[in-house]
Amino acid sequence: MDCIKVTNLTYQYPTSQQKVLKDISFSVKKGELCAIIGANGSGKTTLCNAVRGFIPGFYKGEMTGEVLVNGINVQKEKMGDLALHIGFVFQNPFTQISGIAKTVYEELAFGLENMGVEPDKIHERIECIMKLTHIDEFRDRDPYQLSGGQQQRVALAAILVMEQEVLVIDEPTSQLDPQSTDDIFEIIWQMKEMGKTIVLVEHKMEQIAEYADHVIVLEKGKVVMDGTPKEVFTDTDILRYHTRLPQCTRIALEMMKERISFSKIPITVEETIRELKKTLEI
Ligand SMILES: Nc1ncnc2c1ncn2[C@@H]1O[C@H](COP(=O)(O)OP(=O)(O)O)[C@@H](O)[C@H]1O
Ligand SMILES: [Mg+2]
């Protein structure tokens, strides 16, 4: 079943000279992890904002086409009602933190209190999510005093605790070191295991190749590729769109130029080893 369905979406900001999204159509099935990749300025963040109903409502400008989330037209829905279904994690966790809460615990309670959830239930949900995201050790700290990686985990926890079905996550690891990046991906994979439908903007192709169900490539506001990671990363068209390939795919392609044959192009480390063993007959 389609959870997100975007049809012929075209959009221009009030101040931009040209259209930023051009006739975009795609769908994301329930429970799917859909990665959106593409060069800087290709429209990824704008598309995320359209999916969560902030375009054109908040940003104004001209939009045609339609975005349905669980059959609801997000442009016609009140933003407060939409927030019950769709969680959004920004690129910079700093902007996500409310600025009102004095502790991490209060930060997580904030949204739930606004929703009118009962105190017992709030406590229960927060305890569970803090364990899942490994942030209970700084539950009493000021969110602003945490490191970037810790803040990003708090930002994800604050969204998870709301229990929305659909999550839109925009470059959650762009400011993080490798260890914090792994921690964030770990949480995202757990969200997928929980059955969430996830739209993830990310440049780390290795992780996308490993875990995404679906990849969409944007180029200058258009969807230029749409398929499984296998379909997208093994199609050399992708090299035209200023995106990287997973390292092992690149290596395999280079080896093929040197006449080392592979029966199929690998996209993960596991596949590379399997293919190499076949080639080397070991
Ligand atoms: N608030 C805005 N007002 C006007 N133009 C914008 C705004 N935000 C982004 N843009 C323009 O829209 C295009 C797509 O931007 P964006 O969606 O942020 O791309 P990406 O996330 O892929 O880097 C860029 O040309 C950018 O300059
Ligand atoms: Mg962006």
pLDDT score for 211: 92
Q: Which of 17, 19, 20 to mutate to test the pocket of ligand 1 (most atoms within 8 A of CB)?
A: 20
Q: How far apart are CA 33 and CA 209, in angstroms?
A: 11
pLDDT score for 22: 98
Q: What is the DSSP letter of 72?
A: E
Per-residue pLDDT reduced to its tens digit, 208-220: 999 999 999 999 9
Query: Could you tell me the distance, in angstroms and rounded to a whole number, from the CA of residue 90 to the centre of ligand 1?
Result: 14
Ligand of minimum distance to the alpha carbon of 46: 1
Which three-class secondary structure state does DSSP give residue 63?
strand
Residue of the CA atom closest to atom 20 of ligand 1: 41
Q: Which of 16, 203, 241 to mutate to test the pocket of ligand 1 (most atoms within 8 A of CB)?
A: 16
Query: Strand 166-170 to strand 72-73: parallel, antiparallel, or no bridges (unpaired)?
Result: unpaired
Ligand of minimum distance to the alpha carbon of 19: 1
pLDDT score for 171: 93
pLDDT score for 34: 98
**Exposed (0-12), middle (13-18) or buried (19+): which is 57, by Cβ within 10 Å?**
middle
Query: Could you tell me the distance, in angstroms and rounded to a whole number, from the CA of residue 120 to the centre of ligand 2?
Result: 38
Task: Mark the residues whose beta carbon lies below 5 A from ion ligand 2.
Answer: 44-45
Report CA-CA distances (Å) from 239 to 212, 224, 258.
Answer: 19, 12, 19
Residue of the CA atom closest to atom 9 of ligand 1: 46
pLDDT score for 102: 92
Q: Specify the long-range contacts of residues 237-241, CB closer than 8 Å, at least 24 apart.
A: 241/38, 241/39, 241/42, 241/217
Cβ neighbours around 144 below 10 Å, total: 12
- Residue located via tokens 């169900």: 213
pLDDT score for 30: 96
Q: In the chain, which stretches have pLDDT less than 50? A: none
Residue 73, φ and ψ in degrees, nearest 5: -75, 110
Residue of the CA atom closest to atom 26 of ligand 1: 41
Q: Which residues line ligand 1 (CB under 6 A)?
A: 13, 15-16, 20, 38, 40-46, 59
Cβ neighbours around 239 below 10 Å, total: 12
Whether residue 33 contacts residue 207, with contact meaning beta carbons closer than 8 Å, is answered with no
Whether residue 48 contacts residue 61, with contact meaning beta carbons closer than 8 Å, is answered with no
pLDDT score for 81: 84
pLDDT score for 217: 97
Query: Could you tell me the distance, in angstroms and rounded to a whole number, from the CA of residue 222 to the centre of ligand 2?
Result: 15
